[in-house]
Amino acid sequence: MTDYEQRAPGCFIDGKRVHGTGPGVVVRSPWSGEDLLTLSSASREDVSQAVAVAQTVFTAWQATTAGERAEHLMNFAALLDEHADELAELQVRENGKLLKEMAGQAKLFGDHLRYYASLLRMPCGYVVEPPIGGMRVHTERVPLGVVAAITPWNSPLNLLLWKLGPALAVGNVVVIKPSEITPLSTLRLAELATQAGLPPGVVNVVTGAAGPGQYLVENRAVAKVAFTGSSAAGEQIARAAAIGLRRVSLELGGKSANVVFADADHEQAIRGTLAGIFGASGQTCMAGSRILVESRALPVFLERLVETADRMRVGDPFDDTTDMGPIASAAQLSKIETMVDAAVAAGATLRAGGCRAQVEQFPNGLYYRPTVLSDVTPDMPIFQEEVFGPVACVMPFDDEDEAISLANDTRFGLAAGVWTSDRARSDRMASQLRAGTVWVNNYRKVAYNVPFGGIGMSGVGRENGYQCLDSYTETKSVWVDQGLGIRDPFNPRAR
Ligand code: NAD
């Protein structure tokens, strides 16, 4: 067999797994270090074909009734429920997220779609009486056409469903480009969509590195790009989509602050801040990577944080007793190492971790210790740039004003947490923190019916919640004459 024949088909177009004609992409397991398989990725021609197929199917799909689309989504949701364990395991094989976290997430996949199916039963559009006699206006919601859904590797299925639910509900068709690190779970999800009865071509997948993503964004038949990924790629996508004035929604990076006041319930705050930064090995956009602690509480808090970080079990993501799994790729691991080493060289003090973790069972796995740094200053890159790894920077503050000023001293604005037992203070903080989401006495909670998105370099637009349907539709205003007749425009007194 030739190399090409050994590759698994890397695209899903028109309801079928097909070979791409781009380069082979090796999918690796980050927890064991083994190669899983090689996929034939998409070339520019394959991407054009996927978009063309989607465009053809769009005419019939947008003509379906809201009730029919709701039924399709409900059937798809039922199949996702049935295959939740399989999808969870497949994603863990690709990105090493803990199975115990992933299994919980996968149980809700179907609900994402059911939520949007239920919104289709709500009234949409409204009637307006304009200040012009004899006219009645109603608004309609019109789908955009082909939506490109481009996803990262840290939570590929969840973040995909945030896009698929609203896009399909209102009658769009979709071409997905998952990360080259996690294409398999997305390909499987697309197969399930067709198996559930969605017409072939409504959901398509092209895989590969950034190239196929770029071809997709550059394709003028793509009406909207729904992107989740890094801020740098988000800027490139916004520039490319400006040609042809196509829509974008951008869910980007973060450098979120978790602000702990001395009056907080310490036990809860320690658990919440630890989960906020070490959950999913810190590879979450909303990671609470800057932990700001009121000065008088800092010594005890830091000691507890370091103690717990040192105790955490790093290893097999399938093992229930593991606290933190691997880093998803060798490139990401090396980025984390470089950033931590640079922070220490710049004067930060390493309190815990700061090195690779050796996991006996998987000597080739990509593991890093939960890391805590103190003596970090706002001018350091580790305070300003996203690490996307298990690295907590702990800093003191003296009062609310200083806490706000440190927390907001960033180009990002995705999320923030506040830990205090003073209700009035949490209200003040929530209103002044510059972030798309603020959690009070909790952290890292998201749901399909709660808007999520960022400010500044954390992105444009919101996903989840009913408002996000607007970002997948155009509003059409229809003016209807009520029978009073048209005035002669050149002789206003005559009827
Ligand atoms: P990335 O930007 O490198 O890649 C994301 C996806 O975009 C991949 O599929 C990639 O192949 C593709 N891509 C990259 N450059 C592109 C371009 N110029 N045009 C079109 N497609 C392109 O991000 P990543 O490393 O996969 O993911 C980590 C990043 O994602 C982090 O910055 C993280 O904060 C962010 N993220 C944000 C959210 C959120 O909801 N705000 C959620 C998860 C992850």
Whether the model clears a pTM of 0.85, i.e. scores above it, the answer is yes
Q: At what angle do helices 400-407 and 423-432 cross, to 10 degrees?
A: 30
Ligand 1 atom at shortest distance from the alpha carbon of 254: 34
Q: Tens digits of per-residue pLDDT, 53-78?
A: 999 999 999 999 999 999 999 999 99
Strand-strand pairing, 415-419 and 257-260 = parallel
Of all atoms in ligand 1, which is nearest to the CA of residue 209? 11
Q: How far is the CA of 229 from the centre of ligand 1 (A)?
A: 2
Q: How far is the CA of 230 from the centre of ligand 1 (A)?
A: 4
| Span of 3-17, 161-175, 187-201, 387-401 with lowest mean pLDDT | 3-17
The pLDDT-based confidence of 494 (bands split at 50, 70, 90) is low
Q: Contact at 8 Å (CB) between 225 and 246? A: yes
**Domain map of the chain by residue range?**
4-251+465-478, 257-440
**What is the Å distance from ligand 1's center to 152 Cα?**
4
What is the best residue among 51, 252, 448 to mutate for testing ligand 1's pocket, by most ligand atoms within 8 Å of CB?
Answer: 252
CATH for 257-440 is 3.40.309.10
Q: Over the stretch 133-153, which tens digit does the pLDDT of each residue have?
A: 889 999 999 999 999 999 999
Give the pLDDT confidence of 174-208 residue by residue, as tens digits.
Answer: 999 999 999 999 999 999 999 999 999 999 999 99
pLDDT digits (tens, 9 = 90+) for 428-471: 999 999 999 999 999 999 999 999 999 999 999 999 999 999 99
CA-closest residue to ligand 1 atom 38: 285
The answer to whether 94 and 182 have CB atoms below 8 angstroms apart is: yes
Over its C-alpha atoms, the chain yields an Rg (Å, rounded) of 25
Q: Which of 39, 94, 150, 224 to mutate to test the pocket of ligand 1 (most atoms within 8 A of CB)?
A: 150
Ligand 1 atom nearest 236 alpha carbon: 18
Contact present, 182 and 69 (Cβ < 8 Å): no
The structural architecture, per CATH, of the domain 4-251+465-478 is 3-Layer(aba) Sandwich (3.40)
Q: Give pLDDT tens digits for 273-285.
A: 999 999 999 999 9
Residue positions annotated with a catalytic role: 163, 251, 285, 463
In this prediction, residues 407-412 reach a mean pLDDT of: 98
Q: What was the pLDDT predicted at 6?
A: 62
Alpha-carbon separation of residue 232 from 239, 251, 256 (angstroms): 11, 12, 17
| Residue 428 CB burial class (10 angstroms; 0-12, 13-18, ≥19) | middle
Q: How far is the CA of 424 from the centre of ligand 1 (A)?
A: 37
pLDDT of residue 7: 78
pLDDT at 495 over 80: no
Q: What is the pLDDT averaged over residues 261-268?
A: 97
Residue whose CA is at the smallest distance from ligand 1 atom 10? 210
Mean of the pLDDT values across residues 114-137? 92
Q: What is the pLDDT of residues 96-115, one digit of tens each?
A: 999 999 999 999 999 999 99
**3 state SS for the chain:** CCHHHHCEECEEECCEEECCCCCEEEEECCCCCCEEEEEECCCHHHHHHHHHHHHHHHHHHHCCCHHHHHHHHHHHHHHHHHCHHHHHHHHHHHHCCCHHHHHHHHHCHHHHHHHHHHHCCCCCCCEECCCCCCEEEEEEEEECCEEEEECCCCCHHHHHHHHHHHHHHCCCEEEEECCCCCHHHHHHHHHHHHHCCCCCCCEEECCCCHHHHHHHHHCCCEEEEEEECCHHHHHHHHHHHHCCCCEEEEECCCCCEEEECCCCCHHHHHHHHHHHHHHHHHCCCCCCCEEEEEHHHHHHHHHHHHHHHHHCCECCCCCCCCCECCCCCHHHHHHHHHHHHHHHHCCCEEEECCCECCCCCCCCCCCECCEEEECCCCCCHHHHCCCCCCEEEEEEECCHHHHHHHHCCCCCCCEEEEECCCHHHHHHHHHHCCCCEEEECCCCCCCCCCCECCCHHHEECCECCHHHHHHHEEEEEEEEECCCCCCCCCCCCCC
**Pocket-forming residues, ligand 1, beta carbon under 6 Å:** 150-155, 159, 177-180, 209-210, 213-214, 217, 228-230, 233, 236-237, 251-254, 285, 386, 388, 414, 454, 459
Which pair of structure tokens corresponds to residue 148? 């490109």
Using the atom order of ligand 1, give the atom closest to the CA of residue 452: 40
Q: What is the pLDDT of residue 489?
A: 81
> Using CA positions, which residue lies closest to atom 11 of ligand 1?
210
Gap from CA of 477 to ligand 1 centroid (Å): 36
Q: Which atom of ligand 1 is nearest to the CA of 225?
A: 20
Tokens describing residue 445: 């909670």
Out of 25, 44, 206, 228, mutate this one to test ligand 1's pocket (max ligand atoms within 8 Å of CB): namely 228
Q: Confidence band (pLDDT; 50, 70, 90) for 492?
A: low
Ligand 1 atom nearest to 177, measured from its CA: 9
Which atom of ligand 1 is nearest the CA belonging to 234? 2
**Spacing, Cα 249 to ligand 1 middle (Å):** 13
Report which ligand 1 atom has the smallest distance to the Cα of 231.
32
Query: 356 C-alpha vs ligand 1 centroid, how far in Å?
Result: 24
* 1 confidence band (pLDDT: 50, 70, 90): very low
Give nearest CA residue, ligand 1 atom 21: 213
Atom 23 (ligand 1) nearest CA: 229
Atom 8 of ligand 1, nearest CA residue: 179
Whole-number average pLDDT of the chain: 96
111 Cα to the center of ligand 1, angstroms: 25
**If you measure from the C-alpha of residue 11 to the centroid of ligand 1, how many angstroms do you get, rounded to a whole number?**
19
pLDDT at 328: 97
| pLDDT tens digits, one per residue of 351-376 | 999 999 999 999 999 999 999 999 99
Top mutation candidate among 207, 224, 225, 230 for ligand 1, by most atoms within 8 Å of CB: 230
Q: How far does the centroid of ligand 1 lie from the alpha carbon of residue 227, in Å?
A: 7
For ligand 1, atom 31, which residue shows the shortest CA distance?
Answer: 230
Q: What is the pLDDT of residue 483?
A: 86
Q: Residue whose CA is closest, atom 19 of ligand 1?
A: 214
